[in-house]
Amino acid sequence: MIKKIFKTTSPTLTIACRELKSHFDSLSAYILLVLFLGFSGIFTWIYGSDVFFYGQASLQAFFSTAYVTLFLLIPALTMRTIADEMRGGTIEMLLTKPVTRWQIVGGKYLSVMLLIIIALALTLPYYVTVACLGNIDHGAVLCGYFGLLLMSSAYAGIGLFASSICGNPIVSFLISLAIGLLFHIGFGIVGHQFGGIGGQVAICFDMNSHFDSMARGVIDSKDIVYFASVTFAGLFAAEKTLESKTA
Amino acid sequence: MDIIVKNLTKFYGQQKAVDNLSFEVKAGEILGFLGPNGAGKTTTMKAIAGFLTPTSGSINIGRYNVSDNPEMVKQMIGYLPEHNPLYTDMNVIDYLRYMAQLQRIRASKINDRILEMVNVCGFEGEKHKRISELSKGYRQRVGLAQALIHDPQVLILDEPTTGLDPNQIVEIRELIRKIGREKTIILSSHILAEVEATCDRILIINKGHIVADGTADQLRKASSGCECLRITVEDANRNDVVRALQSLDTVELVDTVADKADSFEVQSRPGESSRRAVFRACVENGWVLTELSPVETKLEDIFRELTKQ
């Protein structure tokens, strides 16, 4: 059993490691980290409704800026993942190795998530600083980070799907931004404009409502199910698109 | 390990790329795959390598079916795709390591295999370069190294010598010959001389069908039913020679050679040889016969004849 699990995960890990390495080799990882830390740092500490504006020892300000920053940066991370393999023909190399399409999609997803975990880990000094400034709710912070991870995972799934649609990274970027925008504000607007069952359903798809409760420190199983299903739907669609392109 | 392709058919939308193709390759055999552009060579090779799913038909490698046991089959196959796609942002060693890991070579053996591939394929001086800095010939070698790294039983090489200089072509050919002693190899090429030099058997396909299958000699025999001689006669009148030769019983047709006044091409009737008769005719007329040689049908001619339609 363990051997079997190891066998199926090892190509995924191999692919994830290579992807992560290529992100760092091509500078794209550094640029993204700088942008992420820069934006979230400015809006958490210096400008707008920052920590001092709230006057509370909480990371609310950081979570809301990180939420927007990641929304914009994740499509940039995922746009090349599958699109480049298709355009360069290297997908043929991968698929003629004993590797399944799921392992390829999984490996790419994992590499994006690892990079986001690195980015979030680098914001731990924010947490330490705020904890020194006052009495911080440790549970809420943990919960907020967890929420950011879940939300990133959902966008990573969407981004991978967008990347699998066509061989052009810029088009992939725009598609994933468009789908992301739908989840980010589209469903919310529709839901609040129209009442009734349709509106209710739209609200269910709205990412804000699911994220806000987590950022406040409430973990609800329905939020986790929501993020997990968006992620899975994205990865599933990516795998299917890959299958239709290579069959 | 044997490769058995049965009734392979592949449609791209409405277009039929491969039409009910069946053939076998025995273990240890090197099969040359010939055909004009768009004949279905690459499609067939992609299907054997498990990249394309055939519309119908089955492919077996050893005991395993490609569509039922893709993972088992892919571990036994080394595949060099047509355009040799590589990760150009990686360096050679990293790339080979990545491919070795994906082929599930044990971690302790990976370094040895990489070193061996560097030696066998000969890019010792290039091994620390980025792939984007390599010339086409070296890229091709890296592609070949990648296909060989897990010591596969079966090798599928789609135009392995494109972009190589003549020296490299000879080297790669020798390499394929050497490896081919214990492995089953299918290779496709446009260069007919190359296929003749490296392959045990030749398969010519056209429009998705097999049009010829056999060794180079067998193909020659099958296509040239009649003996064809090239002769040179000196000290004679051109017209007399043609008349005399044409009157022989075994001769079907006499042709003059365009740029040589003394040379003729003599085609015999099916199943007959006119060598002796030609010699006697010359002796009787007192002509000096300075050349009498059989004309071998070139593989190019066979190829053109079979794939013309």
The verdict on B29 and B136 lying in the same domain is yes
Residue B264 confidence (pLDDT): 84
Which of these three, B214, B243, B277, is where a domain ends?
A: B214
Distance CA B279, CA B292 (A): 9
Instruction: Select from B266, B271, B270 the least CA-distant residue to B244.
Output: B266
The verdict on B180 and B258 lying in the same domain is no
Q: Where are the strands (E) in chain B, listed by range? A: 3-12, 15-25, 30-34, 56-61, 64-65, 77-80, 154-158, 184-188, 201-206, 209-214, 228-234, 251-256, 263-268, 288-294
Amino acid at A207: M
- Token pair in block for residue B76: 């036994």
Q: Are strands B15-25 and B3-12 parallel, antiparallel or unpaired?
A: antiparallel
Residue A15 confidence (pLDDT): 93
Q: Coil, strand, or helix at residue B41?
A: helix
The verdict on B51 and B182 lying in the same domain is yes
B75 touches chain A (CB under 8 A): yes
The verdict on B42 and B157 lying in the same domain is yes
Which of these three, B163, B186, B214, is where a domain ends?
A: B214
Distance CA A198, CA B162 (A): 60
- B102 assigned to some structural domain: yes
By a Cβ cutoff of 8 Å, what residues of chain A touch chain B?
A: 7, 10-11, 14-15, 18, 22, 25-26, 88-90, 92-100, 246-247
Angstrom distances, CA of residue B84 to CA of A229, B163, B191: 38, 11, 18
B81 touches chain A (CB under 8 A): yes
The verdict on B179 and B88 lying in the same domain is yes
The verdict on B74 and B201 lying in the same domain is yes
Q: Tell me which residue range forms the domain holding B269.
A: 226-296
Residue B225 confidence (pLDDT): 63
- Token pair in block for residue A12: 């995924």
- B240 assigned to some structural domain: yes
B98 touches chain A (CB under 8 A): yes
Residue of chain A whose Cα is closest to the Cα of B156: A96
- B128 assigned to some structural domain: yes
ipTM: 0.87
- B23 assigned to some structural domain: yes
Distance CA B298, CA A184 (A): 69
Closest Cβ opposite residue B75 in set A95, A98, A100: A98
Q: Which of A19, A96, A244 to mutate to test the interface with B (most CBs of B within 10 A)?
A: A96
Instruction: Select from B214, B157, B180, B220 the least CA-distant residue to B30.
Output: B180
Looking up residue B266, the CATH number of its domain turns out to be 3.30.70.100
Q: How many CB atoms lie within 10 A of CB A5?
A: 9
Angstrom distances, CA of residue B190 to CA of B157, B205, B222, B236: 13, 12, 21, 43
Q: State the smallest CA–CA distance between residue A23 and chain B in angstroms.
A: 11
The verdict on B58 and B149 lying in the same domain is yes
- CB-CB contact of B80 with B143 (8 Å): yes
- Name the stretches of chain A with pLDDT < 70: 1-9, 247
- pLDDT tens series, chain B, 309 aa: 889 998 989 888 888 888 888 999 988 889 998 888 888 888 999 999 988 888 899 999 988 998 888 888 999 999 999 888 999 889 899 999 999 999 988 888 999 999 998 888 888 888 889 999 988 888 888 998 999 999 899 999 998 887 778 887 888 888 888 887 888 999 998 777 788 888 888 888 888 888 888 887 777 777 666 677 888 888 878 888 888 888 888 887 788 877 777 888 888 877 777 888 888 888 888 888 888 888 776 777 777 777 776
The verdict on B163 and B103 lying in the same domain is yes
B132 touches chain A (CB under 8 A): no
| CA B22 to the chain's CA centroid | 18
Q: Which residues contact B8 (CB under 8 A, 6 or more apart)?
A: B18, B20, B21, B22, B44, B47, B54, B56, B57, B58, B59
- Token pair in block for residue B187: 């290779």
- Token pair in block for residue B244: 């005399």
Residue A229 confidence (pLDDT): 94
The verdict on B208 and B248 lying in the same domain is no
**Span A149-208, pLDDT tens digits:** 999 999 999 999 999 998 899 999 999 999 999 998 888 888 888 878 888 888 888 888
Query: B83–A95: do the CB atoms touch at under 8 Å?
Result: no
Closest Cβ opposite residue A97 in set B86, B87, B103: B103
Q: Which residues of chain A does B142 touch, with a Cβ-Cβ cutoff of 8 Å?
A: none
The verdict on B203 and B278 lying in the same domain is no
Residue A9 confidence (pLDDT): 63
Q: Which residues of chain A does B87 touch, with a Cβ-Cβ cutoff of 8 Å?
A: 22, 88, 90
Q: Tell me which residue range forms the domain holding A119.
A: 2-246
Residue of chain A whose Cα is closest to the Cα of B95: A18
Which of these three, B152, B181, B214, is where a domain ends?
A: B214
Distance CA B201, CA B208 (A): 18
- B93 assigned to some structural domain: yes
B204 touches chain A (CB under 8 A): no
The verdict on B7 and B126 lying in the same domain is yes
Q: For residues B179-213, b (16+ Cβ closer than 10 Å) or e, as one string?
A: bbeebbbbbbbeebebbbbbbebbbbbbbbebbbb
Residue of chain B whose Cα is closest to the Cα of A246: B52
Q: Considering only residues 44 to 63 of chain B, which have any Cβ-Cβ distance to chain A shorter than 8 Å?
A: 46, 49-53
Domain count within chain A: 1
